């Protein structure tokens, strides 16, 4: 507009400019982690997203922008909360990128798998008291005797070690006793020691250390970044036009991939420092408050 042009009427005035350092352009793809991002941590009971977050994601979709779920949860857990969010189309990337579910077709649309045999032997050598669970299809966790089922999940029954290593899986879980709180400030020291002792080759396995004695083992080269990249490619959207929300260490790969990354306010300093923006906490509907800037 020429400098001499008259001011626009108040009803047509442009919206206030965003603060410096804040993304102005609306994204073409929005990706959200689940636990600690759109729902509270699920240590002792399952939680549901707030109406503010549900409505905010609906506004994104009403604007023609797809919403994806990218989570470390197993596929069935991802689908459960995606349904609570009202996401009846699009994709949920689960198991740190190893699995993908088509929410419209109601079917697994992609899986990477890993051979569990070598990993099981390595973890048993690290700690003979380790217990295991495995994710296969949509039935639920199959687990060895003694695996602590102290969180809400779908349980498909007990299996032997021989059964557990009998077929490839998108994710294997190794777990030892720990009093470290799920969703706490730090990853579990016992789990860190367990993973270090197993010393799996990164060329063969991707390892994610969690909180309450928990270690995830999946396919090499697979992460939340590869999960969201696959979904973005489906929509023909670049990383630069993708906004991602997360709160934990396993979100760092997609933070590095995306054009704009948003950490939740309660995330640990390392995670907040890696993000382009820090939202209010999950308990303050941080995702909804950031999305309101664009939608």
Query: What is the set of domains in the chain, with CATH numbers?
Result: 24-111+223-291 (3.40.50.1000), 117-218 (3.30.1240.10)
Maximum distance among all alpha carbons in the chain? 79
Question: What pLDDT does 178 receive?
Answer: 82
pLDDT at 184: 58
Q: What percent of the chain has pLDDT over 70?
A: 89
Residue 161 pLDDT > 70: yes
Range of weakest confidence among 7-21, 81-95, 97-111: 7-21
pLDDT tens for residues 167-188?
Answer: 999 999 999 988 766 655 577 8
Q: Is 208 helix (H, G, I), strand (E, B) or coil?
A: strand
Report the alpha-carbon distance of residue 273 to residue 41 in Å, rounded: 21
Between CA 245 and CA 167 the distance in angstroms is 34
Which residue did the predictor score with more confidence, 285 or 46? 285
pTM, to two decimals: 0.85
pLDDT at 152: 79
**Phi, psi values for residue 250, rounded to 5°:** -75, -5
């Amino acid at each position: 507009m020429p400098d001499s042009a008259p001011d626009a009427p108040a009803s047509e005035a442009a919206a206030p400019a965003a603060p410096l350092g804040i993304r102005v352009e609306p994204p073409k793809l929005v990706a959200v982690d689940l636990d600690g991002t759109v729902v509270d941590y699920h240590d002792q009971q399952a939680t549901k997203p707030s109406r503010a977050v549900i409505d905010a994601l609906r506004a994104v979709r009403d604007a023609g922008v797809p919403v994806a779920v990218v989570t470390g949860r197993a596929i069935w857990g991802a689908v459960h909360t995606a349904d609570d969010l009202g996401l009846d189309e699009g994709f949920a990337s689960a198991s740190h990128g190893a699995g993908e579910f088509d929410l419209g077709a109601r079917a697994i649309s992609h899986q990477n798998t890993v051979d569990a045999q070598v990993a099981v032997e390595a973890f048993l050598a690290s700690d003979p008291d380790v217990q295991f669970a495995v994710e296969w299809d949509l039935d639920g966790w199959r687990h060895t005797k003694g695996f602590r089922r102290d969180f809400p999940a779908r349980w498909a029954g007990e299996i032997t070690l021989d059964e557990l290593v009998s077929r490839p899986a998108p994710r294997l879980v190794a777990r030892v006793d720990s009093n470290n709180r799920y969703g706490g400030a730090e990853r579990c020291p016992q789990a860190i020691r367990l993973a270090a002792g197993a010393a799996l080759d990164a060329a063969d396995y991707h390892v994610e250390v969690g909180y309450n004695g928990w270690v995830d083992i999946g396919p090499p080269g697979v992460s939340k970044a590869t999960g969201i990249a696959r979904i973005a490619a489906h929509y023909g959207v670049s990383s630069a036009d993708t906004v991602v929300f997360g709160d934990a260490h396993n979100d760092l790969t997609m933070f590095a991939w995306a054009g704009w990354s948003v950490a939740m306010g309660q995330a640990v300093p390392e995670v907040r420092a890696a993000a382009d923006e820090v939202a209010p906490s999950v308990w303050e509907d941080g995702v909804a408050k950031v999305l309101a800037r664009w939608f």
